[in-house]
Chain A
Amino acid sequence: MKRQTRMLILALTLAPPLLRAAIGCTLSNPARDLKALFPEMTSYREDVKELPKLQQGRELYEALKARVGGDLDPVYEAFETPYTLYSVFKGEARIGYVHGVNVPGRGGVIQVFVSADPATAAIGTFFFQRLESPGGSALRAKETRAQFAGLSLADFYKHDYFAAAEPGHASDKVARLVPPAALPDAAKPDWDATLRGLRKNLILLDFFAFDRRHEPFHQRAEEARKKKELKP
């Protein structure tokens, strides 16, 4: 056995020093799925995004954690988890982004995908790919998913602001999102996981595609939260 151990060490030593890498949360059939989302599409491009390869990767991971609002799952949402950003083109013009993330649900994996407008960053279509939930059919229902169309990360940060400064404000779009009536009790946590997944998805899209343009909303929400905490 000592001989085997020495040989393994030798083999490991000979293996080239490699960078971290992997495949992100990907569409299973990008050409077909993207064409369905953007019928006018003429081509698409996939870009793998890995936080460890970015200069500010660790900071972005900590920023993601802070903006999601809780710890990230060490199995589903590790620092090394890669992401795939799809850019959709009509001729030379970019007409959309598509991005997906994995989040842990009550029964397993929930893959939350959105298409986003490259100019406004607003959600065009929200959809699940993999959804290991006893409430899968209710969550996948068109009317459930339609609630998310038009929202952007700004709406989630505004929700944080309103929760701290003006609870029940009429402009709080996220507060109006409701789980499907047919969702079984056992799958109720999957609704919360879905909202969390959507928020995480939009934060990462803001990092990868929109140059963190929604940060002012987050800063205002943080200021409101701290102000509330200071009140006696």
Chain B
Amino acid sequence: MVAAPQDGSKAVAVAEPDWTDNLLLRKEVYLLFAAGRDNIDETGDGMSRLSAGFEIQKRFATATRTVASIDYQGRVVYRDHVLDTAADPMGRDASPWRYETHNAYLDLYNVFGEPGRFNLRGGYFYQPFGLNQQTDTHGTLLQLSNDRLFGAERDWQMTLYGTLNDSLDYTVGYLLGAGPDHEMEGQSGLGVARIKLNNDWLFNDGLEGGVSVAAGERVDEHAVMRSPSVGRATRGDSVVSTWRAGLDVRKRIDSGVGPFTLAGESAIGQDEDDPLLSGLTQADWLHPGRRWGAAVQYQHLWQDVAEGGKDYADARATAVLTYYFSNDVGNANLHWIALGVERQVRQTEEPEDTLLMLQYYRYW
């Protein structure tokens, strides 16, 4: 019959990891070309956004315990003829050449208490508000709400996070409120807190969701420019007194033709004395073979400009079709080409336009 199993003496011995263990390095190329139907008639030019970057991750461990990890991601970006599109919110004020730090943070795991209860993260990363922190949007055309709510989708911050109880996870922290250009203008920063369904809900029921709040001061030139009342209240600088409260949910529906996902984010808040309301609805489909994906998104932001100004509104609908050459489940190797259409439904500051976008993305 078959051979007898060997004894357990060949099991790998417990030892300190080598410094090159758990060191992860990746490259990234991101090309985006876009043209506005009206804009190209007027200017005869289209938008280009070209970038090359890298990401480094390293986990630190003793012989018996993973204690910390670091992540750094940066890109050299070149932009030409920038258009106002939700696919590239960082492009609005960017110079043609720019080095962008995308992520730069340190995690300390299980700093005290029972495992999983108290972890620390400090650095530059997604604000723990809405679905952003549990969604990898760094290469996708469809972004979530935080860029419109905070003027940037990332911030310098320190957060404590972990397990709250059998159903919920928590995050509490302090955001610097430094905006997309990492500015310090004497702002006090923001306190932030989020409670969300833990991943048991995601894996058992396909459900994610949470509530988030943030309050304090942040730097946001655009918030000042779009509202005369905010501009007057800030007395010449770009520090905006802000609060936000948000609710989000995402539900995955499994089927024989691949998973469908429906997501929604809504938030209310104030910039100085201006109330605002934000919403986002998105539906995604992914083929079971992970080769094809399609998504539609509608997002809007409305701000009641106090002191007699015209209310601010920004509403857009976007559809994206993606073909994946590589689409690793853990986002380790990604390679795709995407075609998108963004219809600007309502714009206070500029005439509405329709953008056609072509994107090439590789991450490996």
**Interface readout for B26-59 with A: 1 if CB under 8 Å, 0 if not?**
1101010000000000000000101111100101
Question: Among B123-131, B239-247, B253-261, B351-359, which stretch is in contact with chain A?
Answer: B253-261
CA of A30 to CA of B117, assembled, Å: 11
Contacts between the two chains (Cβ within 8 Å), count? 221
- B307 interface residue, CB < 8 Å from A? no
Residue from the list B12, B26, B163 in contact with A31, Cβ < 8 A:
B163
Query: Which B residues are CB-close (under 8 A) to A219?
Result: 3
Q: Would you call B115 and A35 a contact (CB within 8 A)?
A: yes
- B110 interface residue, CB < 8 Å from A? yes
Q: Would you call A107 and B259 a contact (CB within 8 A)?
A: yes
Q: Would you call A21 and B23 a contact (CB within 8 A)?
A: yes
Q: B65: shortest Cβ distance to chain A, in Å?
A: 4
Q: A15-B52, A80-B364, A107-B288 are in contact. Are A31 and B109 (CB under 8 A)?
A: yes
Q: Would you call A15 and B53 a contact (CB within 8 A)?
A: yes
Q: Would you call A108 and B288 a contact (CB within 8 A)?
A: yes
- B5 interface residue, CB < 8 Å from A? yes
Q: Would you call A75 and B109 a contact (CB within 8 A)?
A: no
Q: A81: shortest Cβ distance to chain B, in Å?
A: 6
Q: Which B-chain residue is minimally distant from A158 (CB atoms)? A: B2
Query: Which A residues are CB-close (under 8 A) to B114?
Result: 35
CA of A4 to CA of B10, assembled, Å: 56
Q: Would you call A47 and B254 a contact (CB within 8 A)?
A: no
Q: Which A-chain residue is minimally distant from B119 (CB atoms)? A: A31
**Interface readout for B260-290 with A: 1 if CB under 8 Å, 0 if not?**
0000000000000000000000000010111
Q: A19: shortest Cβ distance to chain B, in Å?
A: 5
CA of A152 to CA of B5, assembled, Å: 10
Q: Would you call A48 and B291 a contact (CB within 8 A)?
A: no
Q: Would you call A8 and B50 a contact (CB within 8 A)?
A: yes
Q: Would you call A109 and B23 a contact (CB within 8 A)?
A: no
Query: Which B residues are CB-close (under 8 A) to A35?
Result: 114-116
Bin chain A's interface residue count: 35 or more
Q: Would you call B255 and A107 a contact (CB within 8 A)?
A: yes
Q: A21-B24, A48-B59 are in contact. Are A75 and B330 (CB under 8 A)?
A: no
**Interface readout for B48-78 with A: 1 if CB under 8 Å, 0 if not?**
1011111001010111111000000000101
Query: Which A residues are CB-close (under 8 A) to B109?
Result: 31
Residue from the list A18, A80, A140, A186 in contact with B332, Cβ < 8 A:
A80
Q: Would you call A119 and B64 a contact (CB within 8 A)?
A: no
Query: Which B residues are CB-close (under 8 A) to A46?
Result: 22, 59, 61, 66
Q: Which B-chain residue is minimally distant from A129 (CB atoms)? A: B203
Q: Would you call A107 and B254 a contact (CB within 8 A)?
A: yes
Query: Which A residues are CB-close (under 8 A) to B254?
Result: 107-108, 131-134, 136
A-B contact list, 25 entries, CB within 8 Å: A4-B48, A11-B50, A14-B76, A21-B57, A28-B202, A31-B116, A43-B65, A45-B64, A46-B22, A46-B66, A76-B329, A81-B333, A87-B64, A102-B330, A106-B288, A107-B254, A111-B329, A121-B8, A129-B203, A130-B203, A132-B288, A134-B256, A209-B11, A217-B3, A221-B2
User: Which 6 A-B residue pairs are closest in the complex by CB-CB distance?
Assistant: A22-B332, A31-B116, A21-B24, A31-B115, A119-B8, A216-B3
Given contact pairs A46-B66, A108-B254, A130-B329, enumerate 14 new A-B contacts (beta carbons under 8 Å).
Answer: A11-B52, A15-B54, A21-B332, A22-B328, A28-B203, A29-B169, A31-B116, A31-B163, A43-B64, A81-B333, A82-B332, A87-B64, A107-B256, A220-B2
User: Chain B residues in contact with chain A, CB under 8 A?
Assistant: 1-3, 5-6, 8, 10-12, 14, 17, 21-27, 29, 31, 48, 50-54, 57, 59, 61-66, 76, 78, 80, 97, 109-110, 114-117, 162-163, 169, 198-199, 202-204, 252, 254-259, 286, 288-291, 324, 326-333, 364
User: Chain A residues in contact with chain B, CB under 8 A?
Assistant: 1, 4, 7-8, 11-12, 14-16, 18-26, 28-32, 34-35, 41, 43-48, 75-76, 78, 80-82, 87, 89, 91-92, 94, 102, 104-109, 111, 118-121, 128-134, 136, 140, 152, 154, 157-158, 161, 186, 209-211, 213-214, 216-217, 219-221
